[in-house]
Amino acid sequence: MTSFLERAALHQTRFRTPGVHPDSRGVVLGQKGLLLFPSLDRVVAFFRAYGDEGSLDEILPSLTIQRVVSALKTRELVVTMAAESSYRMDRIAAVARLAGGDVFTGTQRQFVKYRDAVSPLGYDISEVVEAKADLVVHHDAYRQAYNVERDVPFKDLVLKLTPYRLPPTERASGTRFFATAELGIGHALVGYLFRWRAKARVALAEWPSSSAFDERPKRLHVFEIEDAPPRILALLRSLPGVTVFEPLARAFGVEVGFRHPISLESCQSLFAESTLTLFRGDGQVVVIDPLPPFAPVRTLVRTPMSVDGSAEAEAAHGIGQTESVIVPLRLAPSILPARNVVATVLPASQRAWLAKLLYVMPPRALESVQLAVGAESLYLIDKNGIDGVPLGRFFCEVAHRIYVPTGMTLVPAVQPAVLEDMLASQRGNHVFFESDGAAPRVVPEHAFSSLSRSILRALAGTVVHADMPGREDPALPLLSYGPEVRFPLWGAPGRDETSAESNVPKLGGGSR
């Protein structure tokens, strides 16, 4: 024990430290808790750890973060909050010490070290120091006076932190998402989401110009999408200008694939209900305040309409002038959601795109898609839905083997059976109504074949001989004597050794 502090004793009621008193357990406690951190990253570490451990909301009402400076001009950070009870302070103290901070308690200016294992009931200062400072902390190792330099609002701290990227295995797969889209792509997204019948709402958020040089205020489409299939989510994430956010609560969200350093769920009171705060992965924060009204995407689909003057002309001439009413079958835009989208037609120029796509198509799609190759177009049909081929103009089947482009309908809206009767001569073939107003195109049934069978070049196998390699018996060896010599033993190798060695050891097969 140094001379700065004294250990508090049980049932001690009088302390030199102003504003502290024993609580019900006898622990020395002031009205405030004070955490002293050497740097901002330690402060962030404390909030990260405390947010994961408990709720930051319970300390937020009384929380202040201040940058303080000592007489020696060293800058540190002080976090103060209402002490409430020694139970809460114990939890705060444990996390703060873990993050590298010191823990004090006090009421106004004088703060004494909070209890630890050495002194379970806390500490009292040995003498009160009169210093011209905003606060004085009394530690068992030091005594330091600080002046407050400036406040650091907690919300500013949260908004300035950059989310970090999550590994793929930890990425959430929720069902509700926010997405922001630049103005140019927003309308296309509205149409896309409407076409795929996604449950989505859209709003237009607007911010005033941040600079006098900006031509116009910044605007973004904000989508709220529910129960979107993963493919839509993947598409949106891959689109430039579109950012997808995972909502963590009603009023805020973080970009999909990222996580905010501080557990935002534990500090929901920071974000007002009438606002929407979206944290992007690159560190930018989109704060929409106030929240604009959202509208379902189906109400915003553009429906081009034209007034056909011919009907008026007919009326002018009078109905009685014609003996019968014969009208051609025409295509007209429709705002009804597309149903039974089973075909797509690609211009022949996109043949190369389809070829590239074939390499990544799943086997099921390859097997179920039927392909017919025309002179100008490629026709693809999949009775299970043509979702697997994101190319070309999609067609709905309005009657058996009669197709119209998505977003359009045949007028007059005759029954499917009537259409089939009208095209009875083409029964068995596929009839495509094109939006260019030309006569419907008929593709014979026999022109269609399974995609998996029609795309591949003919395979020409190379015959590989897998027979056993021919056994080639070596030829019979031919004996050839050397030159005739008069004395064969003269100079014969080993002759001397043979006569000298009487006992030659017998050698086994494997030895050498």
Which among 262-270, 407-415, 449-457, 481-489 is the span making contact with another protein, rule CB under 8 A? Answer: 481-489
Considering the rule CB under 8 A, would residue 475 count as an interface residue with another protein? yes
Considering the rule CB under 8 A, would residue 184 count as an interface residue with another protein? no
Contact 343, 386 (CB under 8 A): yes
Amino acid present at 166: L
* Closest separation in Å from C-beta 470 to another protein: 13
For Cα atoms 22, 23, 27, give the angle at the middle one, nearest 5 degrees. 65
> Whose Cβ is closer to another protein: residue 308's or residue 473's?
473
Q: Determine which residue in the list 212, 326, 487, 503 makes contact with another protein, applying CB under 8 A.
A: 487
Q: Determine which residue in the list 210, 320, 474, 503 makes contact with another protein, applying CB under 8 A.
A: 474
Site string for another protein, 491-510 (x = CB under 8 A): xxxxxxxxxxx--x-xxxxx
Contact 276, 288 (CB under 8 A): yes
Considering the rule CB under 8 A, would residue 486 count as an interface residue with another protein? yes
Helix (H, G, I), strand (E, B) or coil at 30: coil
* Closest separation in Å from C-beta 467 to another protein: 17
Question: CA quadruple 420, 425, 427, 430: dihedral positive or negative?
Answer: negative
Considering the rule CB under 8 A, would residue 481 count as an interface residue with another protein? yes
> Whose Cβ is closer to another protein: residue 73's or residue 506's?
506
Residue 165: count of CB within 10 angstroms of its CB: 11
Question: Of 109, 52, 434, which is closest to residue 266 (Cα–Cα)?
Answer: 52
> Whose Cβ is closer to another protein: residue 14's or residue 506's?
506
Q: Rounded CA gap, 421 and 416, in Å?
A: 9
Which among 165-173, 247-255, 433-441, 469-477 is the span making contact with another protein, rule CB under 8 A? Answer: 469-477
Considering the rule CB under 8 A, would residue 484 count as an interface residue with another protein? yes
> Whose Cβ is closer to another protein: residue 330's or residue 495's?
495
- 428 secondary structure, DSSP code: T
* Closest separation in Å from C-beta 502 to another protein: 11
Which among 268-276, 350-358, 373-381, 483-491 is the span making contact with another protein, rule CB under 8 A? Answer: 483-491
Which among 44-52, 59-67, 204-212, 475-483 is the span making contact with another protein, rule CB under 8 A? Answer: 475-483
> Whose Cβ is closer to another protein: residue 436's or residue 484's?
484
> Whose Cβ is closer to another protein: residue 240's or residue 509's?
509
CB crowding 412-445: b at 16 or more within 10 Å, else e:
eeeeeeebbeebeebeebbbbbbeeeeebbebee
Q: Rounded CA gap, 232 and 175, in Å?
A: 12
* Closest separation in Å from C-beta 488 to another protein: 4
Would you state the structure tokens that stand for residue 67, as one six-digit string? 């940058």
Which among 225-233, 327-335, 361-369, 472-480 is the span making contact with another protein, rule CB under 8 A? Answer: 472-480
Q: Rounded CA gap, 123 and 393, in Å?
A: 78
As a whole number of Å, the end-to-end CA separation of the chain is 84
Phi and psi torsions of 139, nearest 5°: -110, 160
Residue showing tokens 């009875």: 424
Which among 80-88, 188-196, 403-411, 484-492 is the span making contact with another protein, rule CB under 8 A? Answer: 484-492
Considering the rule CB under 8 A, would residue 304 count as an interface residue with another protein? no
Question: Of 104, 128, 124, which is closest to residue 7 (Cα–Cα)?
Answer: 124
* Closest separation in Å from C-beta 360 to another protein: 47
Chain residues that interact with another protein, rule: CB under 8 A: 473-482, 484-489, 491-501, 504, 506-512
